[in-house]
Structure 1
Amino acid sequence: MTGPAPHRLDLTGVRDKAGLLRSCAEQLGFPDEFGHNWDALDDCLRDLSWWGEPGADGWTVEVTGWGELRRRAPELARTLGEIFADAGTYWRERGVPLTVTLG
């Protein structure tokens, strides 16, 4: 991959929505104004200006602990997966891929 290093999100041990949103904010470097709700997460993933310029391959987020989150909190995982997918579509339509790998 060319460009900036992938952003990493470790969801190991996340058990609830507050913990998930806190992990996203801290590990993905969201702005201080992040509202800690689903809409704010979606908004942040459609902005990404604080990440700087994307590489030639766009942006990448590597998620770990995904299987554990799906077992512990399937609804949270489903919602987060949908938000990641929507953000990926948003960026792809603008010619800048956002690739999220779930592991």
Structure 2
Amino acid sequence: MTHDVSGRHVVALDLDGVADKEGLMERCVHALELPDWFGRNWDALADSLADPSVWPAAVGERGLLVVVTGWRGYARTRPDEWATAEDVFAQAADRTPALTVALALGETPAR
């Protein structure tokens, strides 16, 4: 799901039910509309997040806000992987001023 907030293109990255790195990477592929050649590893995710040319076409020059929801279960069951994911998100945002990654603290709405 995407929205436009404060001029930025917003992408919801819903991690509800994600149990491992593979699941996280698949959710990233779909939410961020990553290309077929995306490597599904931490380095590839960091590079894709930090490279506006890989972002969804709708972003344009506005910047990208990725809102991560439903992440707490994954963080509890795979704390080492989640620590790496957080680091990847933070480093990409630090490298790319047009990128913001926000962790939603509320519960994921029922589907």
> Fold match, TM over 0.5?
yes
TM bucket (normalised to shorter chain) is 0.7 to 0.9
- Give distance in 2, aligned partners of 1:45 and 1:5: 14
Map of 1:38 onto structure 2: 42
With the length of structure 2 as denominator, give the TM-score of the two structures.
0.79
- C-alpha RMSD of the superposition: 1.5
- Give distance in 1, aligned partners of 2:8 and 2:56: 9
Q: How many residues align?
A: 97
Of 10, 13, 21, 2:14 maps to: 10
With the length of structure 1 as denominator, give the TM-score of the two structures.
0.84
The one-letter code of the counterpart of 1:9 is L
- The structure with more strand, counted as a fraction of residues: 2
- The structure with more helix, counted as a fraction of residues: 1
Map of 1:83 onto structure 2: 88
Structure 1 runs (4+) deviating above 4 angstroms are: none
The one-letter code of the counterpart of 1:79 is T
Aligned-pair distance for 1:4?
4.2
Identity among equivalent pairs (%): 43
1:101 pairs with 2:106 = no
